[in-house]
Structure formats: structure tokens, C-alpha cells
């Protein structure tokens, strides 16, 4: 691995990991949108990372980009920092779950490995962050994720919420208000074939709630 992996490179690797999913590849356009950078600039950086002495990515024009083993390890290190920091901010400093993403984005690049280890120990070595996202282990292995989108459930199916996307603070506040949070059970009372809306009975809530695909695609559950 390069002696110095800059903050910019860390951001690239983290987003490539998140966009590539289960063994897939990330497209230049999707990566550019995530980073808010022109596609041409993204292509230049990917070529640089692919042609380095210790390559962090494999890049093929028109086929997208994947991480090498070194690139994946570097990505998982940043993701571990990020999710531990989110957990620390919520559990220890009293932040709400819609406030921590941006704070963790800033801090993930600067904490030391000793700080990471002490933070994990103080938190009791959590396996998930406040949004239910899995935390890579200390030896940089991502646990298996068995969840599926809430949008895939149909009438009379029951599932447990495992994780929710944390990019949109407004969405997180809405989910908190209606009780759709990790470890809560939901039951589909009705599925609309017309628009994909789900009518849900949420554990602990008196009234059913109707959610559209813009929300149900961002909530992940286990049947």
C-alpha cells in the first residue's frame, strides 16, 4: 500500500466499496455524483490509482472500477472509523442519529489506530452503528449482510428492520418519528401494485403508516 493514502484517496476508496456492492464494479458517473466531482477528474484519479506501484483499484474504461485487496482493506479501515465514530457520537456524546454522518465524515480521516482501538473497547466492540450498518471487524472483514430492501416485502410478510441509509438527515428524522428504526418489527398490511406503496404495522406504534418506494428502498430488513 502507498505510504500515504490521502483523505481524497480514502474518500474514493470508501465510495467505490459502497457502490460496487457484492463483487460488482462502480461506474465513473456514479462515483462522480457521490464525490460531486467532474467525471473526467474521476477518470484521471482512477487511472492514477490503478497505475500506482501498489495499485488500489482495477480500472477498465467503460467497465467501471473495482478495488484491489489493498484498496479494499484501506476502504474498510475508513468505513470502520466512520461507523465507530457515529456510534461514539450517539452513545457517548448524545448526538441524534441524523446529526452524526457529516461529523464522522470529517473525523474518520484523522483518528489514530490507537484511538480507534480505545473507542471500540469503550463502546463494547459494537457490531452495528446507530443506523444498523455493519461495522468491519478490527482485522478489516465486513460481516455478511443478510438484509433486503423493505420495498421487496409484500402483504402479510413480517420482518425486522436491520439498517437504514444514513445519507439524508430528513429521512432519518422521519423514520424516527414513525418508529421505523433498527431492531423494530414491521408487518405489511397492504401492498399497492399501482405505485409500490406499503401500508405497514410498525411494532410499538398505534397507527399504520403508508410508505412509498423513495423510503422503502432506503430501509433494509430481514424476513
pLDDT digits (tens, 9 = 90+) for 173-221: 999 999 999 999 999 999 999 999 999 999 999 999 999 999 999 999 9
| Residue the block writes with cell 483499484 | 57
Q: If you ran DSSP here, which 8-state letter would residue 142 be given?
A: P
**Which grid cell is 39?**
467525471
Q: Do 7-67 and 148-222 come out as alike in CATH topology?
A: no
pLDDT digits (tens, 9 = 90+) for 86-128: 999 999 999 999 999 999 999 999 999 999 999 999 999 999 9
Evaluate whether 215 touches 203 at the Cβ level (below 8 Å). no
Which CATH code fits 148-222?
2.30.30.90
Which CATH code fits 7-67?
1.10.10.10
Supply the pTM of this predicted model.
0.92
Q: 115-128: string of b/e by CB count within 10 Å (b at 16+)?
A: ebeebbeeeeeeeb
**Percent of the chain surpassing pLDDT 90:** 93
pLDDT for the residue numbered 23: 72
Which residues, listed in sequence order, are joined to residue 57 by a DSSP beta bridge? 67
Residue 131 has pLDDT above 70, yes or no: yes
Segment 52-80 mean pLDDT = 94
Average pLDDT of the chain to the nearest whole number: 95
pLDDT for the residue numbered 169: 96
Residue 55 has pLDDT above 80, yes or no: yes
Could you count the other beta carbons within 10 Å of the beta carbon of residue 135?
A: 23
Residue 1 has pLDDT above 50, yes or no: no
CA angle 16/35/46 to nearest 5° reads 50
* DSSP-derived pairing of the beta strands 158-164 and 219-222: antiparallel
Q: If residue 86 lies in a helix (H) or strand (E), which one and from where to where? A: helix 69-91
Q: Where are the domains of the chain?
A: 7-67, 148-222
Residue 50 has pLDDT above 50, yes or no: yes
Strands (DSSP E) found in 85-171 = 148-149, 158-164
Amino acid at each position: 500500500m502507498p505510504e500515504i493514502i490521502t483523505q481524497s484517496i480514502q474518500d474514493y476508496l470508501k465510495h467505490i466499496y459502497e457502490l460496487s456492492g457484492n463483487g460488482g464494479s462502480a461506474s465513473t458517473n456514479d462515483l462522480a455524483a457521490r464525490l460531486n466531482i467532474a467525471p473526467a477528474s474521476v477518470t484521471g484519479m482512477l487511472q492514477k490509482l490503478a497505475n500506482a506501484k501498489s495499485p488500489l483499484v482495477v480500472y477498465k474504461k467503460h467497465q467501471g472500477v473495482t478495488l484491489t485487496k489493498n484498496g479494499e482493506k484501506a476502504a474498510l479501515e475508513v468505513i470502520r472509523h466512520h461507523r465507530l465514530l457515529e456510534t461514539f457520537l450517539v452513545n457517548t456524546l448524545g448526538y441524534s442519529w441524523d446529526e452524526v454522518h457529516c461529523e464522522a465524515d470529517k473525523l474518520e480521516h484523522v483518528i489514530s489506530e490507537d484511538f480507534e482501538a480505545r473507542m471500540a473497547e469503550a463502546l463494547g466492540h459494537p457490531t452495528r452503528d446507530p443506523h444498523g450498518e455493519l461495522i468491519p471487524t478490527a482485522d478489516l472483514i465486513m460481516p455478511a449482510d443478510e438484509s433486503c430492501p423493505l420495498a421487496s416485502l409484500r402483504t402479510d410478510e413480517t420482518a425486522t428492520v436491520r439498517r437504514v441509509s444514513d445519507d439524508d438527515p430528513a429521512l432519518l428524522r422521519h423514520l424516527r418519528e414513525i418508529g421505523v428504526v433498527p431492531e423494530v418489527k414491521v408487518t405489511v398490511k397492504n401492498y399497492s401494485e399501482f405505485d409500490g406503496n406499503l401500508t405497514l404495522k410498525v411494532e410499538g406504534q398505534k397507527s399504520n403508516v403508508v410508505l412509498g418506494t423513495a423510503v422503502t428502498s432506503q430501509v433494509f430488513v430481514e424476513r
